Amino acid sequence: MAGLALALAGLATYPLYASATSVAEGITLAPASQASIVFDRNDRRVFTFFRERRTDVTLDRVSPNMIAAVLAIEDRRFYSHHGVDLIRVMGAAWADVRAWKVVEGGSSITQQLVRMDALTRERTFQRKVREMLMAIAIERRFDKSQILEAYLNRVYFGDGYYGIESASRGYFGKSADDLSVLEAATLAGVIKSPTAYALREAPGRAVERRNRVLRALRDSGLLSEPHTRELENAALTTAPPDHDERGDAEHASDEGAYCGLYFKEEIRRLLIKRFGADQLYQGGLRIYTTFAPELQRAAEQAVADRLRTLEANKAYRRRGHDEPLEASLVALDPMTGYVLALVGGRDFHESRFNRATQAKRQPGSAFKPLLFAAAIDQGYTPGTVIDDLTNPIAAVGGAWLPKDDHGSAASYTLRRALTVSSNRAAAQLMRTVGVASTVDYARRLGITSSLAPVPSLAIGTGEVTLLELTSAYSAFADYGVTAAPVLIRRVEDRAGEVLWQSRVSTSRAISNETAFLMSSMLGDVVQRGTGSVARTLGFRLPAAGKTGTTDDFRDVWFVGYTPHLVAGVWFGFDAPSKIMNEGFAATVAVPAWATFMRQATAKDKPDWFKVPAGVQKVTLCRLSGQLATDECRWRTEMRVPQTIAVATTGSLEPAPPPVPVPVRVPVPDAVYEEYVVSGSVGPCTLHGPHAAVKAEFAR
């Protein structure tokens, strides 16, 4: 009868066994959903993207302390059983009977792994049997190391951390292979109930559970009694929690706390477009970016400090805006186009709209260097004189004469016009260079936004993004070569295979000589023009740049550079309106740029651009802008010669009046030194009466 009973029991459980074995055959220990990791320009980990925050590691990259702690508390006989620890099962059953409730589970590590992959957590006899049968089947297919590695990579540690690597970094700011005995015991204690023993929400219970793990290690002969007591008295310390955007399941945590969220969001958008959301959040990508955390922190601090100062200004506060003043900043390497820092607004949590890459606004005079570069590339020089600045310009809508806030002279050289930011000089220059040519040069320099071909484009009425304009200035900083902006260097899969790699895309936008002359002129803007506030604020390195202020002080810009770093800033309201009375870029924007650059270049040595072989310094006539001749330095005046009274005798006739004679006299400040492209300037022919009547212009 006993044999018959066993046979009948076998027949009854066979379907369950067959089903469990079939399910177990389908289980693999391949990596589960993996977080994608973002690295900075020095290949340091800075961000993650995930649905389950998980990063797999091989068993040899897990601290022996962690392995010992997990085995001691979760499955002491892991290496001696075949999937089910019968001794522990019987002990757990007896404990449950004595307590008249379930107090111990008795599941082996293999059973827990099966439960993670294939079973629910319902507490039924049938499920428990299936779990055991599947665990036995799993151990027939995989060795112990594979099972333990999969378990450690999949187990949940609370706070959104799946797997030992993610938990180790999240709670202790270190890799899993660096965990100490105390840290390992702490994490091993969390496994039983990540909620009940949550390190940050329930530290008291977490310490009690940790100490139980320490005693289990002692009982296993891995810790001495004195060492155990010492560790039990240790305080629970964890790293500050990283920022977790739990409001959006498609955003990741940031090991870099609040730094760089606009940069991260920008690369998220690029990655989803190229790889799709599933691969980004679950595929375990390794994303190597151009991000420079130290520059990003300096950029965010400079923007925040400037906004705070502006909002404390009485002129600003009287405006009574409902919406906050916004700002953006971009910094990039001019030779590679690598975007090093990116600030898209005052607060990412209030608005994810990126004002550096998505907002198109009028750049005002910050657009002028693109026009001036076109002029110089076509044969103008910094000393070329622009005349007739008080004469209106014919346009489709009628005669037009732009307002000039910085000067009202009738003529300027190109250099002086850029230094004082003369709108009328820019408008006259475009009339000769041509609107179509100006648009063409803007395209060459990397402006992709639509630009209306109208005369007012000369003073920056076309709309561009800050990233576009800042990138355009990189051509001046790299001898005429522009590099397309890059945020991601390459993307690898979890095995290290390169899936995509960016190439530095460069093109010659303007000549080497033109780039040098532009830097020379824009250097004057920083040294003695509208950008000179940077000098008063302590930024001392040789630099070049240009301010931009739009009508009614709605948008203010400054884009400037050294030979190794280009940075642009913008301030304004999302719904364009006046920032403040007299809110010029020199007042509003330049201080933020100077603050950032002072920090970003603190370790740089003074450096400037080498004079190209095709550029020479010559002496020009100040009135004509041509090579100075002797006639430029001297002018002829008719003067009466001085007479000396001499005593005479004899004739009583009066002496004849003195006759004026021509005398050559030097002309003060008639000539000056200037850079020009070799052979581009001829000798001055502006002599005689024409020189006398020509209007003198500001130097």
Amino acid 583: pLDDT: 92
What mean pLDDT is reported for the chain? 86
Question: Average pLDDT, stretch 323-333?
Answer: 96
Where residue 478 falls among pLDDT bands split at 50, 70, 90? very high
Chain length of the chain: 699
Catalogue all structural domains in the chain, each as residue range(s) with its CATH number. 2-30+58-243 (1.10.3810.10), 328-600 (3.40.710.10), 615-693 (no CATH)
- Give pLDDT, residue 135: 85
pLDDT at 687: 58
pLDDT above 80: residue 429: yes
Mark 266-281 as b/e (b = at least 16 C-beta within 10 Å): bbbeebbeebeeebbb
CB 362 within 8 A of CB 515: no
**What pLDDT shows up at residue 494?**
85
Residue 561 has pLDDT above 70, yes or no: yes
- State the average pLDDT over residues 654-682: 84
Q: Spot the catalytic one: 74, 131, 513, 674.
A: 74
- Count Cβ neighbours within 10 Å for each residue of 600-611 and write b for 16 or more, e otherwise: bbeeeeeeebee
Could you read off the pLDDT of 534-546 as tens digits, one per residue? 999 999 999 999 9
| 247 pLDDT more than 60 | no
Instruction: Say how far apart CA 579 and CA 552 lie, in whole Å.
Output: 8
Mean pLDDT of all residues in 565-581: 95
pLDDT at 311 over 80: yes
**pTM score:** 0.80
- Known active-site residue 122: no
Active-site annotation holds for 33: no
| Distance of alpha carbon 104 from alpha carbon 668, whole angstroms | 101
pLDDT at 2 over 50: no
- In the structure, what pLDDT confidence band is assigned to residue 263 with cuts at 50, 70 and 90? very high
* pLDDT at residue number 324: 92
Residue 423 above 60 pLDDT? yes
Given the residues 63, 107, 168, 365, the one annotated as active site = 365
- Give the SS3 label for residue 293: helix
SS3 content of the chain, % helix, strand, coil (to 5): 40, 15, 45
CB contact at 8 A, 21 and 271? no
Question: Percentage of the chain with pLDDT > 70?
Answer: 84
Lowest mean pLDDT among 115-124, 144-153, 302-311: 115-124
Q: 3-state SS of 124-165?
A: CHHHHHHHHHHHHHHHHHCCHHHHHHHHHHHCECCCCEECHH
pLDDT of residue 19: 55
Q: Enter the tokens of residue 73.
A: 């508390």
Task: Say what angle helices 181-190 and 164-172 make with each other, to 10 degrees.
Answer: 120
